[in-house]
Structure 1
Amino acid sequence: MSAGDRPGARAALVVALVLGLAALLVVAVTTPWDVLPEPPGGRTPLDPTAGLSAEQLARAEAFVGALRPASLLSLLLGLVVSALLGLTPLGGRLVRAVGARVGGRWWAQVLLGVPALILAGRLVTLPVSAYAETVRHRYGLSTRGWGLWLRDVAVSFAISAALTALIVLAALWLVRRAPRTWWAWAGLATVGLVVVGSFLYPVVIEPAFNRFESLPAGELRSDVIALAEENGTPVRDVLVSDASRRTTALNAYVSGFGSTRRVVLYDTLLERLPDEEIESIVAHELGHVAADDVLTGTLMGALGAGAATALAGWLLSWAPLLRRAGAESPADPRVVALALFLVSAGGLVGTPVQNLVSRQIEARADVHALDLTRDPEAFIAMQRRLASTNLGDPDPPAAWHWWFGSHPTVAQRIAMAEDWQRLEGRR
């Protein structure tokens, strides 16, 4: 039986195509493809070293050289395990086996089967993750003891397993209640979940991993609040995260909306960066707020999630695919492993597009930081300090950056700041 023979399958495919095209249209219209005009005389040539010393470059290259193979291996192992469980009856058997221990009801199979499937993937990749943590320890980037590392792994697994199990349970309930149109209702619910998740993340998920305290009164706090006011996006508070419990990396971000919006600074920033460089980082993050990047990203994510759900409705109506997974219908709990594989594969395929958009958005935020602070020297010094401390490759291989790079390279960001200087007549 073909996918089109099943009731609602053709409609699901049409909706997936329409929503997918709508998502691409939003991407095309809202992505800042040209963030800075070309200055007279052309763009500043990229310096692959980004001004870092030979010693700093050698250390960063050694670090990423040790970490990149582990990252690729973890990605491939996770995908292989997901495919093995989702494209063979193994996943369905596992779901049924764990559910049988508590009566075998369909909802019990889902609530226990989803964590079991996720745990299988985590256990296979755990040794690689441990090796990667060892590398971060070796280069001084991680400060976590193994107890805290295991705690973080466990908390991450628990949150992921619980949320995924509840989402899958709701989806399977819809399949059973509305076998022809479940994908439409699930798509609407997924869109709502993306939107709600964007609002709840800073107050629900972030505190599970870090503690936050208000930045004490002082010049830096006053300057950050003044930057936010000048940006037209006042913040509720300026918080300090206890990131040093886990890492020596430097970072800051703005999270939340409206009354929950706050600037968060890693405590490592306060220890290592002068105030003007911290303010440059904050100005970059405020650029995302000024441009409503989170809201736009939420819209893109909602459209993409709706399209993916409709596409899943079409794929899960294809009898040969169901037979391969050992499931009788989309309502069969044994279909769960197949659904999780489709989500993983779809996410991997969409990664280059997401990162292409992300790089442009980050570049726009860089320009915003320069416009807001009017301090390109601090911006350039900050980029070099981040690259040196976070052990980032200032000029990674093109293929790697195209697929995995969510930000412009350090070399690109410094060249852009120099272009900004020339446009502003600062040289």
Structure 2
Amino acid sequence: MSARRAALLVAGVLGLALVLVIALRTPWTVLAEPTGGATPVRPGAGVPAAVVDRAESFAAALRPASLASLVLGLTVSAVLALTPLGARLVRAVARPLGGGWAWQVLLGTLVLSLLGRLVTLPLSAYGEVVRHRYGLSTRSWPLWGRDVAVSTAIDAALTAVLLLALVWLARRAPRSWWAWASGGAAVLVLVGTFLYPVVVEPAFNSFQPLPAGQLRTDLLALAEESGSPAEDVLVADASRRTTALNAYVSGFGATRRIVLYDTTLDRLPDAEIESIVGHELGHVATDDYLTGTLMGALGAAAAVAALGWLLSWTPLLRRAGAESPGDPRVVPLVLFLIAVGTLVATPVQNVVSRHLEARADLHALDLTGDAQAFITMQNRLAAANLSDPAPPAAWQWFFGSHPTGPQRIAFAQDWQRLEDAG
């Protein structure tokens, strides 16, 4: 069997394994339908009309820019990958340092990543203007610039190192590089899951322990009751950047901690904070992080195997101006294929995410037993975060990682009806 066919076969097997993980670990039915049918979803119910209008206006102002940024970034990446322009750029940026293949990969990746970010920067700035206009962003422009620079630097540096390893493997093992890289991609997903809370999160927020008090005691007790003991309750200085409300659970085992946005702590009563935390603890209790990690590892491994198949197609390499997967001029093509793969995977990830989020809502309701606090909390989140109560169906299907606020409220009402019915 040729190396190209082997890569395609492995990609297919790993893709099938990914489908099985999705099928078996996604909670397709979360809650039984109450007698009399499910509660109708009523967009805007329980929220003042002015708040609904504001949320819809905010979404209408931001959505076109988001789509334009996506299309523009993909177009620029395609032009650089499928014409000689990208290959020439990779060679040119490394020439002052001798033009070695490693410098071509490292500097080429950094420059291409920076170029892609600069092209979409005006649209990102427009999005920040919109968030300021609607009171969702509190960032100063220097802080916004710093956040953009840090996130771009982290992404570009990690991508450059990974592509350096990929091209090195392709040069050392021209027939089997994709197999080694596929296994390495899966391992990196696993490692990244553990490192993200301690490496990336502190780059954007500062964290302080929640002072001793009833809320801290109740949240730690809630974690114990959920079967996911937390070591600490931290407060993130989110108000430096946003007025949005949020909380999450991060870390594993001895590093697990409950994190509250300071905006959440300031603006929500304890019962509603406990409802949010109950939801986040649900992700831990039902092993949603394990599901996400398995999906990520299998998806990354399958994608790299598919990359091995694609990069052995001579016409595609010629189109990109490269001679082989070990040629550093392949970098623009690899970046483009990663962007396309990420886009294709987005709706799949989100359909799974919406079901996992619904199950976490069920966990919060079971854990706190307080549907009214959950409903009130959802209405407050919708108002504070300017969540669109009724996004276009295609947009929600493709980009919606959570059920809409009205869907979650109807879910809580169904839960309450089932509880009342015993």
Q: Give the Cα–Cα distance (whole angstroms) in 1 for the partners of residues 125 and 175 of structure 2.
A: 45
Counterpart of 1:124, as a letter, is: V
Counterpart of 2:151, as a letter, is: S
Kindly indicate whether residue 282 of structure 2 is the aligned counterpart of residue 304 of structure 1: no
Q: Give the Cα–Cα distance (whole angstroms) in 2 for the partners of residues 129 and 44 of structure 1.
A: 38
Matching residue of 2:154: 159
Q: Give the Cα–Cα distance (whole angstroms) in 1 for the partners of residues 413 and 56 of structure 2.
A: 25
Q: Please point out which of 120, 129, 134 is paired with 1:125.
A: 120
Counterpart of 2:374, as a letter, is: F
- Tell me the alpha carbon deviations over residues 241-284 of structure 1, each in whole angstroms, 9 at most, x when there is no partner: 00000000000000111111111000000111001001100000
Matching residue of 1:241: 236
Matching residue of 2:78: 83
Matching residue of 1:222: 217
Kindly indicate whether residue 136 of structure 2 is the aligned counterpart of residue 141 of structure 1: yes
Matching residue of 1:394: 389
Larger deviation: 196-205 or 87-96? 87-96
- Tell me the alpha carbon deviations over residues 53-77 of structure 1, each in whole angstroms, 9 at most, x when there is no partner: 1100111011111000011011111
Shift of 1:395: 1.5
Indicate conservation of the 8 Å contact 1:50/1:410, yes or no: no
SS at match of 2:99: coil
- Tell me the alpha carbon deviations over residues 327-371 of structure 1, each in whole angstroms, 9 at most, x when there is no partner: 011111000000010000011011111100000000000000000
Indicate conservation of the 8 Å contact 1:89/1:326, yes or no: yes
Indicate conservation of the 8 Å contact 2:56/2:389, yes or no: no
SS at match of 1:240: strand
Kindly indicate whether residue 45 of structure 2 is the aligned counterpart of residue 50 of structure 1: yes
SS at match of 1:144: coil
Counterpart of 2:361, as a letter, is: D
SS at match of 2:97: coil
Matching residue of 1:210: 205
Matching residue of 1:263: 258
Kindly indicate whether residue 285 of structure 2 is the aligned counterpart of residue 290 of structure 1: yes
Q: Give the Cα–Cα distance (whole angstroms) in 2 for the partners of residues 163 and 104 of structure 1.
A: 21
Counterpart of 2:351, as a letter, is: L
User: What are the within-5 Å matches in structure 2 for residues 322-341 of structure 1?
Assistant: 322-341=317-336
Change in CA separation of 1:217 and 1:182 when aligned onto 2, cut-off 3 Å? same
Matching residue of 1:403: 398
Shift of 1:426: 7.1
Matching residue of 1:150: 145
SS at match of 1:101: helix
Kindly indicate whether residue 348 of structure 2 is the aligned counterpart of residue 353 of structure 1: yes
Shift of 1:49: 1.4
Counterpart of 2:31, as a letter, is: L
Matching residue of 2:171: 176
Q: Please point out which of 183, 189, 200 is paired with 2:184.
A: 189
Shift of 1:52: 1.2
Kindly indicate whether residue 402 of structure 2 is the aligned counterpart of residue 373 of structure 1: no
SS at match of 2:193: helix
Runs of 4 or more off by more than 2 Å in structure 1?
none
Tell me the TM-score normalized by structure 1. 0.98
Larger deviation: 356-365 or 391-400? 391-400
Indicate conservation of the 8 Å contact 1:118/1:161, yes or no: yes
RMSD between aligned alpha carbons?
A: 1.0
Q: Give the Cα–Cα distance (whole angstroms) in 1 for the partners of residues 79 and 384 of structure 2.
A: 39
SS at match of 1:239: strand
Matching residue of 1:26: 21
Matching residue of 2:248: 253
**Structure 1 portions without partners, runs of 5+:** none
Kindly indicate whether residue 69 of structure 2 is the aligned counterpart of residue 74 of structure 1: yes
Counterpart of 2:296, as a letter, is: G
Q: Give the Cα–Cα distance (whole angstroms) in 2 for the partners of residues 412 and 226 of structure 1.
A: 29
Indicate conservation of the 8 Å contact 1:50/1:394, yes or no: no
User: What are the within-5 Å matches in structure 2 for residues 84-123 of structure 1?
Assistant: 84-123=79-118
SS at match of 1:331: coil
Task: Give the total of aligned pairs.
Answer: 422
Q: Please point out which of 155, 179, 193 is paired with 1:198.
A: 193
Indicate conservation of the 8 Å contact 2:185/2:297, yes or no: yes
Shift of 1:87: 1.2
Indicate conservation of the 8 Å contact 2:138/2:241, yes or no: yes
SS at match of 2:174: coil
SS at match of 2:260: strand
Q: Give the Cα–Cα distance (whole angstroms) in 1 for the partners of residues 362 and 213 of structure 2.
A: 27
Shift of 1:50: 3.4
Matching residue of 2:4: 9
